[in-house]
Structure 1
Amino acid sequence: MIDELERKEQELYNRLQELESVTVADPSTVDTSSPDDRHTVRSIAASSPATREGASLSFIAHLFSDANWRKSHATLLRTLADAPGTDEVSIAPCSLPSAVETQMLFDKYLSWAHIQNPFLLRRSVWALHQRLFNGQGTSTKATSHDLFRAFMICAIGGVLPYRNKLHHRHPEAYYNAALQHLGAEFLTRGLDSVQDLLLICRFGIYHPIGTSIWDVVRLCGRLCIELGLHNGTDIRGDLLQTQLRRRIFWQFYLIDRYSSTTLDRPFLIDDADIETKFPVEVSDEELEAASQDVQSLDSLNFTREPNVQNEMTVFFISVRLRQISSHIQTEFSKLRRKISNTRSKHLLAGHVHVVMTKLLRELKDWRNRNPIIQEPSCLYETQEWYDLLIARERLSVLRRAIDLVPKVNGSPPKEILTVFLGSALETIERYHIICQKREMMTHTRSYFHMLFTAGLSVMYCISVSKKITQEDMRASYQGLLRCQELLNSVARQLPDAKSYVSVFEALHRDVSQRLWPNVRDMSVGLPVDLALGFPNDIRNFNGRRFSPDLGTSSLPNTLGNMPDFSINRQFFDQSLQTRTGLLDPVSQFAVPGQDGNEISEEYQDGSSANWALLNYDSLWNMESALGQYVYGDPTNPSVMDGFEF
């Protein structure tokens, strides 16, 4: 039996070599890149960690391959090649606001940021307020640590009110004031020091902090390990303190996993080395009441009503998703090594398929387990936010798969490219839906990273596709307009994102002029609400083909239609579901090569690719540069430089 399989494999391998030799002999498919260009690709890729296959954005080189585009945007490229930093005006430190205003900001922190990130105790926040004001209307003399923490809570709590014009003081004024109260003992306070570092990381999600979040969270992790938070040591007789230690560790884990996966960098601690358990799903008050009768946190037994949230509900949802993203990172790292070491190149597509299927199933299971909170009080309790999270992680899986899957003349298999396109469009649409909840949400650097890469993914798909349906071209046209509109909206809140928006707009114009030359002005002529133009594009993409057991009455349509590749192995042989009812002006333009819906040869990867752009290291390292933008600028002097660990 084994001999027969080996013989069959050898026959297939020989046949594959014959086909490849025929392809090379065919002048219509020959790779026209010069030897120098190909050498540039290899040398740059080898020297750049961000361009490793499977790191999730190495495929975007195609978008920057046109020499004329590079020549006309040389200044833009040089600007982006500089180390990313902030162009916001420096904000002067401020004084602590009145007791009433501080209470408002503390309350906003607890009702918003704390819901997803409960690494402080509510009672400790209000005890801090009591110490600061002592029941009076003005602040009393306080310790430097109390002032640092108060300013940090005000900085985070002030983000949403300031952007919604409900608070007059810039959050960075509070942050810069907090930095004035960093003392030499900043890293010597045990759990307090870890909490203080986590506060800095959280603020860095919204505003520049003068250093890299990745560096700060690694320092935070070293403190966690030094304190034994990773090994699950309980504080006997103090359930609340044990609970807090677990909450702090898993908060570090959450930020470490997200920053490391975004930057394609190693985790500080491997999942296999983590022994501490999750916090228990009870409120602080319930824990205190149980402390008299129970000595061990894990021996608590509370009966919960379904879909009724408590202190830990959203936190658990977030941490479990980070465990999956950690798995995504490690699985594709293993796959990358396996691919580099295998001789049987014809088996690579199967390896990628298996890993991709397993990870997408994990994401589907995560979404199915999420509770439905009847009256959400903040964004983190809404179903729309969970839909956005799974769309983002799904796109992450597919981006990595696209990087590793074998390609013919630079183009991946049509079937996975089709699913990739649908996933990128879904991510853009999900973020647009979230943006309608203006009073609940605000833009962040990580959202910008997600949008930017989703837009690049759409451009990539329509650029390298040999054949593409007219409906998919329409959806892509509309999705890119929507993405550019959203990116500009983000840049209005985050001015230091403007250079990336300029690059996106330039790429968008280039792709549009090639694929949609009959549409002269991309910014006019579409419905005010683009969703009216393709109401079912995102919701139903691939919907007809996926296994019916995936849908549940409690989930949105998109999740019900999510693919299970292990059940439906024909996914690689199908295309996006035909869309109907497109009432937008997009129908006025023709798809290139409309008879067969073929993309013209001059725009396919094999014939026009000029890889000289890779000499712009920072631009080719788009994932790295954008990741550094998201998590801070490591070229700036670190606020932590003055401390010895």
Structure 2
Amino acid sequence: MEAAVMNTNRPTSSNFAHSPGQRRDTLADQLKQISLEAGAERHLGSSSGISFAKLTQAVLRRLSPDQEAFVFDCDVNEDQERDAMFMPELIPSINSTLIDIDTPVFNDSGANRMIDVHEDSGAIDLALLEPSYVNRLLEFYFAHSHTLYPIIRQKEFTSMLWKVYSDPIDPSSQSPLCLYRIWVILAIGSTTYSSVSLVDESESVQFFNKAMTYFEPAMGCGDLAALEVLMLQVSYSFFNKIGPNTWLLVGIAARMATGMGLHTSDTYISLPVDVAEFQKRLFFSLYMMDRVVSMALGRPFAIQDHDIDIGYFSDVDDEQIHPDGIMPSNRLEPSSMAVPLHILGLRNIASDIGNRVHSIKGSQEQSPEEKEQTIQSIHKRLIEWRRSMPFPLPDLQQKVPHLCTSWFDFNYYTHVIMLYRPSPLYRTLNLPKVRILADASAMAIRQAISMHRQNRFSYNWLNLLAVFNSALSLMFSTTAQPDQLSLVLERTNAIDDLELAIELLEAFDKKFPSAKKIQRMIQVVVAKLRMHAIPTD
């Protein structure tokens, strides 16, 4: 039985005249803005959700009394002024690398500052920072970003940083690569902490600007060093949208990595074991970055799975890795690489979803039976991924999202959404698939709100996309079911779950003005749904 999806050839919001003081926004418009599309008409593919947003807008006609186009009216005077003020920071031009540190990137929370935010970044000195503060940023970096992307050798870096801190005039402390690493890692530690805590971002911007003064000489320190320099900038850009475009940085880094042959086994044959292990960590961190940004924007992967003929990095701690081999461990708890490897497994599943579900060519080559088998096999992999998460999770930092089970639940459900929403593989969903999509959408929002209320949700542009797509999927799957809308609302908690999404977007609005528009759109939908709901006593 096919779900009742409305005819999308009927008039859309662009066909209607409106007053000069009003603008008709669409769900797709807002998704484009979050997806870095405000500055240019760049391509957004299937996995970005752009086509799905348009389909959802069409399906929402069911909430209009005359079944005509469902439109959202936004006050131009208020919203356009806010966008003009903030969007350059959210969506920088390709040539932008630095911003004026006197400009408030995010709302000032009144958090204590360790340095004067009006100082020129070139005047910042490591000695001006309290050791306890540096330690806090390092701990958060290695608990948060290093667990996602294990790019750095932790002990070597920490030793080097404190050497520079204690003796800044030592000639060995003047390497541009060394100084770039220090400042960009402090910047990443600061911006990731701010993304969870929603505190002032000024210090992070200063640290990043300081790091960029060493960027060009650091890029000249060899191929592997240059790759690391770019990847650290990518890591920063996931949480703070200053500097070059994330998509372009990942593409450049991928070209460098494949040019060095880091994806081929021949490259590692003559390398010492420790060097090979850390190069694999570097390569697969880049692979994960590529999957994250490419799936978010619906664009081709920079690194193709069929070109990779090396195994993953080993599930061991740094102390076990030696030039001549890997020493066994007697520890019962998982290694420091257990969580990164598990996340790598998720990125590999996402790669499969991109290639087999959201690829036009990949979907055309499958028969109806093969299409169903594809969905079932990937769903089984997701279930196994969720069931096999590392236990116990490291207890490193209370605020790190991916060190709690809710993060794994959230990512499980957001990937189920990508698997089941309309795509080149299944342009029309049957009722069982619509209901799976509805359940996954509701659960994704609930897991996000759980982390939000635990103060361990990361308010970055990737999670804003995830929350928006979850809300889109819930609105679509609620209104697309063939039953009477009142009956659908009676047996689900769709309205309550959309209210949770509205609560989340209130927090995102502190960093992303587009979140306010999305919030208003969902509020309009919720108000319409309430009109169809059966009153409760």
Aligned-partner SS, 1:73 = strand
User: Could you tell me how far apart the structure 2 residues matched to 1:462 and 1:246 are?
Assistant: 44
Number of the residue aligned with 1:384: 406
User: Could you tell me how far apart the structure 1 residues matched to 2:199 and 2:89 are?
Assistant: 24
Number of the residue aligned with 1:643: none
- Give the 3 Å change call, closer, same or farther, for CA 59–223 of structure 1 in structure 2: closer
In the alignment, is residue 448 of structure 1 matched against residue 464 of structure 2?
Answer: yes
Q: 1:253 Cα shift?
A: 0.4
Amino acid in structure 2 at the alignment position of 1:311: S
In the alignment, is residue 485 of structure 1 matched against residue 432 of structure 2?
Answer: no
Q: 1:455 Cα shift?
A: 0.7
Number of the residue aligned with 1:130: 162
User: Could you tell me how far apart the structure 2 residues matched to 1:240 and 1:363 are?
Assistant: 32
2:418 to 396, 410, 431: 396
Q: 1:51 Cα shift?
A: 6.9
User: Could you tell me how far apart the structure 2 residues matched to 1:53 and 1:117 are?
Assistant: 26
Number of the residue aligned with 1:433: 450
Amino acid in structure 2 at the alignment position of 1:72: D
User: Could you tell me how far apart the structure 2 residues matched to 1:71 and 1:254 are?
Assistant: 36
User: Conserved in 2, the CA contact under 8 Å of 1:158 and 1:167?
Assistant: no
> Where in structure 2 are the equivalents of 1:545-584 lying within 5 Å?
none
User: Could you tell me how far apart the structure 1 residues matched to 2:365 and 2:83 are?
Assistant: 33
Number of the residue aligned with 1:462: 478
User: Could you tell me how far apart the structure 2 residues matched to 1:278 and 1:381 are?
Assistant: 21
Q: 1:404 Cα shift?
A: 4.6
Number of the residue aligned with 1:269: 303
> Where in structure 2 are the equivalents of 1:154-553 lying within 5 Å?
154-162=186-194, 164=197, 170-183=203-216, 186=219, 188-232=221-265, 233-234=267-268, 236=270, 238-288=272-322, 291=323, 294=324, 297=325, 300=326, 302=328, 308-333=333-358, 336-337=360-361, 348=368, 350-373=369-392, 376-378=395-397, 379=400, 380-401=402-423, 404-405=425-426, 407=428, 412-438=429-455, 440-467=456-483, 468=485, 469-470=487-488, 475-492=493-510, 494=511, 497-499=512-514, 501-517=515-531
Number of the residue aligned with 1:553: none
Q: How much identity, in percent, do the aligned residues show?
A: 15
Question: Which segments of 5 or more consecutive residues in structure 2 lack a partner in the other structure?
Answer: 16-40, 62-67, 91-102, 106-116
Number of the residue aligned with 2:98: none
Number of the residue aligned with 2:178: 146
Q: 1:128 Cα shift?
A: 2.4
Amino acid in structure 2 at the alignment position of 1:319: L
Q: 1:156 Cα shift?
A: 1.2
In the alignment, is residue 96 of structure 1 matched against residue 120 of structure 2?
Answer: no
Residue by residue over 1:571-621, the C-alpha shift from the partner in whole angstroms, topping out at 9 and shown as x without a partner, is xxxxxxxxxxxxxxx87369xxxxxxxxxxxxxxxxxxxxxxxxxxxxxxx
Q: 1:177 Cα shift?
A: 1.7
User: Conserved in 2, the CA contact under 8 Å of 1:57 and 1:399?
Assistant: no
- Give the 3 Å change call, closer, same or farther, for CA 515–229 of structure 1 in structure 2: same
- Give the 3 Å change call, closer, same or farther, for CA 475–145 of structure 1 in structure 2: same
User: Could you tell me how far apart the structure 2 residues matched to 1:236 and 1:30 are?
Assistant: 61
User: Could you tell me how far apart the structure 2 residues matched to 1:475 and 1:139 are?
Assistant: 64
> Where in structure 2 are the equivalents of 1:629-640 lying within 5 Å?
none
User: Conserved in 2, the CA contact under 8 Å of 1:421 and 1:457?
Assistant: yes
User: Conserved in 2, the CA contact under 8 Å of 1:282 and 1:312?
Assistant: yes
Aligned-partner SS, 1:588 = coil
Q: 1:224 Cα shift?
A: 1.1
User: Could you tell me how far apart the structure 2 residues matched to 1:479 and 1:449 are?
Assistant: 17
Q: What is the CA RMSD across the aligned residues, in angstroms? A: 3.9
Residue by residue over 1:513-544, the C-alpha shift from the partner in whole angstroms, topping out at 9 and shown as x without a partner, is 332138xxxxxxxxxxxxxxxxxxxxxxxxxx
- Give the 3 Å change call, closer, same or farther, for CA 225–282 of structure 1 in structure 2: same
User: Could you tell me how far apart the structure 1 residues matched to 2:210 and 2:230 are?
Assistant: 16
User: Could you tell me how far apart the structure 1 residues matched to 2:458 and 2:406 are?
Assistant: 14
User: Conserved in 1, the CA contact under 8 Å of 2:407 and 2:451?
Assistant: yes
- Give the 3 Å change call, closer, same or farther, for CA 121–30 of structure 1 in structure 2: closer
User: Conserved in 1, the CA contact under 8 Å of 2:56 and 2:475?
Assistant: yes
- Give the 3 Å change call, closer, same or farther, for CA 391–406 of structure 1 in structure 2: closer
Residue by residue over 1:145-182, the C-alpha shift from the partner in whole angstroms, topping out at 9 and shown as x without a partner, is 32222110111112355564899952112112211222
Which entry has the higher C-alpha Rg, 1 or 2?
1
Q: 1:392 Cα shift?
A: 1.5
User: Conserved in 2, the CA contact under 8 Å of 1:69 and 1:510?
Assistant: no
User: Could you tell me how far apart the structure 2 residues matched to 1:81 and 1:436 are?
Assistant: 28
Aligned-partner SS, 2:299 = coil
- Give the 3 Å change call, closer, same or farther, for CA 301–208 of structure 1 in structure 2: same
* Number of residue-to-residue matches in the alignment: 465
User: Conserved in 2, the CA contact under 8 Å of 1:54 and 1:404?
Assistant: no
User: Conserved in 2, the CA contact under 8 Å of 1:54 and 1:400?
Assistant: no
Number of the residue aligned with 2:89: 86
User: Could you tell me how far apart the structure 1 residues matched to 2:141 and 2:246 are?
Assistant: 20
TM-score, reference length from structure 1? 0.63
Q: 1:486 Cα shift?
A: 0.6
User: Could you tell me how far apart the structure 2 residues matched to 1:35 and 1:153 are?
Assistant: 47
Amino acid in structure 2 at the alignment position of 1:96: D
2:51 to 38, 58, 62: 58
Question: Which segments of 5 or more consecutive residues in structure 1 lack a partner in the other structure?
Answer: 1-15, 24-28, 39-47, 519-585, 591-645
User: Could you tell me how far apart the structure 2 residues matched to 1:441 and 1:151 are?
Assistant: 25
User: Conserved in 1, the CA contact under 8 Å of 2:291 and 2:347?
Assistant: yes
